[in-house]
Amino acid sequence: MRKILRTKAMLVIDGAAPALARTFDLGQGGMAVTTEKKVEVGQGGQVVFELLVEGKPQLLTCRVKVAHCIFSGDEFKVGFAFGTLAPEVNAAIAKYIRT
């Protein structure tokens, strides 16, 4: 299950400069963002974003791998599969999805 999440994010693809992004949705196994930069399927990196959990903001850093990247309108929609998440990140995502 995925839940809509619209917040600012930082996309850091391995070997590339950080890029601004906006989260689109979030699930236990991955997430989607929109960004102005195209990324290649299979690339690894990190997405950093803030998530409100039980009314408290938490800054999360997730290791990701690009599952798909499509051009939509004037931006790219990028789907990510999560790598191994830190236990506290996994717990925060689970709590967010259940609410």
Q: So what's the architecture of 2-98 in CATH?
A: Beta Barrel (2.40)
> pTM (2 decimals)?
0.93
Q: What are the CA-CA distances from residue 18 to residues 1, 3, 45, 59, 88 (Å)?
A: 28, 25, 10, 16, 24
pLDDT per residue rounded down to tens, the chain (99 residues): 899 999 999 999 999 999 999 999 999 999 999 999 999 999 999 999 999 988 999 999 999 999 999 998 899 999 999 999 999 999 999 999 988
CA distance 60 to 92: 9
Q: With the CA atoms of 52, 58, 61 and 66 taken in that order, what torsion angle do they form, in degrees rounded to the nearest 10? A: 0
Whole-angstrom distance, CA of residue 19 vs CA of residue 47:
10
